[in-house]
Amino acid sequence: MKAHMWWWEARYYDASTGREAVVANELHIPTGVPVYLALTSADVIHTFWLPSLSGKVDMLPERLHGLTLRADRAGDYRGQCAEFCGAQHANMALRLTAQPPSDFANWFARQSRPAAAPPSASARIAQGQRSFVAARCVSCHAVRGLHEQPAPDAPKAPDLTHVGSRSTIAAGALPMNKGTLAAWIADPQAIKPGARMPGATVSAEQVSAIAEWLESLK
Ligand SMILES: [Cu+2]
């Protein structure tokens, strides 16, 4: 689990199958078993804090701190960065979903798949995918399954492969839907001033097609 200014990156790896998933701002864990998290930071000091499940644990660049979590009750738990880390510290929320092990396994199986190709029926969703590439969103964001991927030294940004399955945008800044996605893509600085994403320089029409495609990536 890696903290960034101002969002969370959660990487899952299943050693028995080699499958991986990368998710932003949401953690899912199976209920009733201890789950080990390795915590680090991409930039400044952040602090992992899920008040009802754990104490505060610092997340430092170039260091790993371990934390073992266990949730016996299924449900959503709210977390937050607990170390002032700059302008958008207050908009750095985290949500943990604890679910029965079989639901967790299904969730992980979906998240570890590449993004679905746009259904052939929807020209608009296909246009959204093309505009995403044309607008150079791929210079920062990975969508697994797309031909274009960020360079290894690209600025770090949330993996968007299954972005439509999340409940919020930008670490809790807005709820997830087509309208809020379009608003975020057009002008992230109006929503989260200082966020490390520039506004899109494409037409409103293209922004809305991109939002429609991203929302379909469940
Ligand atoms: Cu912070």
Q: Tokens 């602090």 correspond to what residue?
A: 47
pLDDT digits (tens, 9 = 90+) for 169-217: 999 999 999 999 999 999 999 999 999 999 989 999 999 999 999 999 9
Q: Give the distance (Å) from ligand 1 centre to CA of residue 137.
A: 25
Give distance in angstroms: CA of 79 to centre of ligand 1.
Answer: 11
Q: Are residues 30 and 96 in the same domain?
A: yes
Q: How far, in Å, is the centroid of ligand 1 from the Cα of 193? A: 15
* Helices 204-216, 178-186: inter-axial angle, 10-degree rounding: 130
Prediction pTM value: 0.96
Contact 25, 7 (CB under 8 A): yes
Which residues have CB less than 5 Å away from ligand 1 (the ion)? Answer: 46, 81, 85, 89
CA of 106 to the centre of ligand 1 (A): 31
Ligand 1 centroid to Cα of residue 113, in Å, is 31
> Do 43 and 63 fall into the same domain?
yes
C-alpha count within 13 angstroms, C-beta hemisphere, residue 11 = 10
Asked if residue 117 is part of any domain, the answer here is no
Domain that holds residue 164: 123-216
Nearest Cα residue to 200 out of 192, 188, 213, 190: 188
Confidence category of residue 121, pLDDT binned at 50, 70, 90:
confident
CA–CA dist 71, 31 (Å, integer): 5
Do 67 and 142 have their domain in common? no
In a domain, 143, yes or no: yes
Per-residue pLDDT of 105-117, as tens digits, reads 999 999 999 998 8
**Domain end position, chosen among 86, 111, 136:** 111
Q: Cα(87)–Cα(135) distance, rounded to whole angstroms?
A: 27
Nearest to 108 by CA among 30, 212, 6, 192: 30
Dist. CA 207 → ligand 1 center (Å): 30
Residues 137 and 190 in one domain: yes
The contacts of residue 15 (CB under 8 Å, 6+ apart) are none
Work out how many domains the chain is built from and give that number: 2
Residues 22 and 75 both lie in one domain: yes
Q: Model confidence over 123-164: pLDDT tens digits? A: 999 999 999 999 999 999 999 999 999 999 999 999 999 999
Identify whether residues 28 and 82 lie together within a single domain: yes
Q: Locate tokens 């960020």: which residue?
A: 150
